Structure 1
């Protein structure tokens, strides 16, 4: 940020916590705050899991060929608003802004749950997308609320919370879908969002740092978010309209142009939205590139397995495996346990191990897993064994990403860095998800208004996922050696060792 941060004392009712023990472990108060930040952050992962598993049911209920937008409209809204949310959090405090976007997310969840048409469902899902930037604010809050030596441990703890989502989420989905249908899933999302709001209101203190409230480059923010959204929308429509169609090209080419215009306006603005000067540092742009690509592989390709397992088996029409959600959850038990173990182990190891290693290794394992799954995805045994590879990858990746961001920037840049990285990863994830649907649709059949997918489509989507994962692996080689998170003191710039 171009304006210097001016710390103001936190509210008297919510003082910033301190480590009474002075040791390396987190005190009880700090653990409670970390858990309270973990809930809304990992709710994004839970929403992705629940929503992804509900797609097959939603598609068949509303008879739509555009089921991809059930996930994508949420992501697009999150992409558009991220720059505004990050800037407002600098002005008004991260907790305050997290509360506002959680309330909006809750409103969207309620609308989606009560929707009687697919269009209204998408409106609700879009409003719920306002919740999307909360992870960036939560990780940035850690930098202000925790002692410097414990920032890495707290961030790792929040990130590894995805293991609990992976362990309990499939069974929750199975019970809800098999007992109450997709409406049960949507009501569950509403309830979990409400709990997240309660935790923010009662447990998390306000962050102390503020920047001077000035006129910001809001037009630039609209160009940045709108351009990113336009590009991803064009990718999604390319398979339907044709890749040489004027409308397709307008969105695909116009999106990057809008982003470039944002860069020009922000660099010239007296009050830029983001301090883009950090992107000139190799330590920053390489971390953003690597974590964005690898995170996109992790979160953008999960729909392949969800659709494969839960869509029905209809000869010549659908080559899904026709599982119940509970059956799919049972198959995922070994992987879920392994994610928990690997995530925890990676978090501990990162105190001594270079965070680039588990990130790159996780991406490589993910790519190998998809290559193998392309030929072996037909039986329960095959899915369980290959799920173990995915679990190893996920455990390492989710624990490494937040630590690498902390290591790449100074404390004053944390909120901006989390916002930019979250936006980059969000765009990559949305584009990857769009590409997955485009590839799947090349081998599909439409019956009674619902699109079903054939085995050749699933195979090609897995090959795409493997290629992106391997590209992410190579991108890690660009990242220079960084200072360890626990060695970064508050206010100290992070430099290459």
Structure 2
């Protein structure tokens, strides 16, 4: 591709508006894009139980409506990052939003499960918008503004996820579920226009080598096999031939892919860069942080919606549950500037270490609260006690959200401060993939724990109070491990604090 003239930060930010106003618009548009994309991940949560009836098929078939978005997002994110480094981040943002809009329309019109799965797969192509937005902010914002903006953009995934459940639950209860997808499609179209009009062009200087198509295919095959193993292992049976075969295929393909990437002069992902101590340890910590981000959403909503008569349930409706957990996402947003300040003064390594400790405290508090709930006698329903329990859970979840928000700002700062300019979007996309692996592992591990610790109540098999507490303690321990790994990141990363 012919190199396009490089547009400097100052030129981009002063083309039509005051620089400060332009900076604010850039951040607002990209944060809105991240929230819209993450909202799509939780749209189907309120209707999961109804999907088999809606599409007249089995629960196993409708589970692909969730799985396909994860698979497509995991594969496309690092690929889009590499393309953005080669051809421009704004261009790839616009390319990514188009299939997302089309997918939303397809889902809204879907009359069968196959069409719905196709639409959700197209929505998954928009998953790369968040890491692309982070990399673009790093390029075009003034140094003093970049840290907080990147933290806000990075945490938009959690913000959208937390806000999406109550919004989607309300719409699903009082309107046709298809309205959810029409609404998200319209929102994405508005965001697309805003990206086109507001986001500055910051073109790369060009690449001497073309895109690594074989590397992209190899990564796609390996990741799909790996993620299918993790996400479907419990359903297929961990010892089944299908699960073992998928895992073996993933290992062989990814090893061959790594060998091929190391011999390419212009690889899809530069594994030598990812092996740098700062990048490697940050990515390992990202897997663990991704685990803790998702585990809370697997545990607390179930407890809130279980009947209060059990002695440890809280008897909340889907909408009530969503409203109680929404502040967790707001906590992620609230600490974006604090995290940027800590990173600027002490380095993002310190911010990431603190985040692991704060997340662990949040999980520990929730475990203590659930243990206290367990002291209620079955059938003892005290509305005042339940209200106080909900308030305490809200506080604990906000603490957890603040920790996750700190981590989401620190991880891209560490990554982008340690890789060449020509690899920033690809490296950030790979880091986003690591978080996705963590969330997938969380669903599998927490699912196994809760499935193993169950009781039969009225003909229904439900997790025990001990199962929830064990899951919380596992997540607490993983957050502490993430803090230890973050503390081991070389201190030279301090220079990457803000930019």
Verify same fold: TM over 0.5.
Answer: yes
Please say if residues 290 and 472 of structure 1, whose CA atoms lie closer than 8 Å, have aligned partners that are also in contact: yes
Structure 1 residues 84-123: aligned runs within 5 Å = 84-123=79-118
Q: Which residue of 1 aligns with 2:345?
A: 352
1:442-467 alpha-carbon deviations (Å, 9 max, x no partner): 46799xxxx97433664554444334
How many residue pairs get aligned? The number is: 476
For the pair 1:289 / 2:284, whether they are aligned, the reply is yes
Shift of 1:373: 5.3
Q: Match of 2:364? A: 368
Q: What is the correspondence of 1:27-46 to structure 2 with a 5 Å cutoff?
A: 27-46=20-39
Partner of 2:5: 8
- Residue 416 in structure 1 maps to residue 412 in structure 2: no
Cα 1:58–1:213 shift into 2, 3 Å: farther
Name the counterpart of 2:494: 483
2:59 to 26, 49, 65: 65
Query: What corresponds to 2:298 in structure 1?
Result: 303
Q: 1:70 to 1:303 in 2, by over 3 A?
A: farther
For the 8 Å contact 1:363–1:397, the answer to whether it is kept is: no
Partner of 2:378: none
Aligned: 1:159 with 2:157: no
Shift of 1:96: 1.2
Contact 1:149–1:486 (CA under 8 A) maintained in structure 2: no
Corresponding position of 1:399: 409
- CA–CA separation in structure 2 for the residues paired with 1:339 and 1:476: 19
Between the aligned partners of 1:50 and 1:325, the Cα distance in structure 2 is 13
- Separation in 2, partners of 1:487, 1:330: 34
Pick the aligned partner of 2:392 from 385, 397, 413: 385
1:135-214 aligned at under 5 Å gives the runs 135-161=130-156, 165=160, 168-180=163-175, 182-212=177-207, 214=209
User: Which 5+ residue runs of structure 2 have no aligned equivalent?
Assistant: 375-385
Determine if the alignment matches structure 1 residue 240 to structure 2 residue 235. Answer: yes
Alpha-carbon separation, structure 1, partners of 2:308 and 2:393: 25
Tell me, yes or no, if the aligned pair for 1:72 and 1:430 is still in contact at 8 Å.
no
- Asked whether the 8 Å contact 1:230–1:252 carries over to 2, the reply is yes
Contact residue 446 and residue 471 of structure 2 kept, 8 A: yes
Equivalent-residue separation in structure 2 for 1:45 and 1:206 (angstroms)? 24
Query: Displacement of 1:83 after TM fit?
Result: 3.1
* More helix per residue: 2
Q: Is the 8 A contact 1:55 1:70 kept in 2?
A: no
Q: Describe the shift of the 1:129–1:170 C-alpha distance in structure 2 as closer, same or farther (beyond 3 A).
A: closer
C-alpha distance in 2, partners of 1:69/1:93?
Answer: 33
Given that 2:230 and 2:440 are in contact with CA atoms closer than 8 Å, whether structure 1 keeps it comes out as no
- The alpha-carbon distance between structure 1 residues 383 and 64, as it changes in their structure 2 partners (threshold 3 A), is farther
* Contact 1:20-1:27 at 8 Å conserved across structures: no
Q: Displacement of 1:368 after TM fit?
A: 1.8
Give, in angstroms, the shift of residue 374 of structure 1. 4.9
Q: Choose 92-101 or 111-120, whichever is displaced more.
A: 111-120
| Residues 416, 327 of structure 1: alpha-carbon distance in 2 compared, 3 angstrom cutoff | same
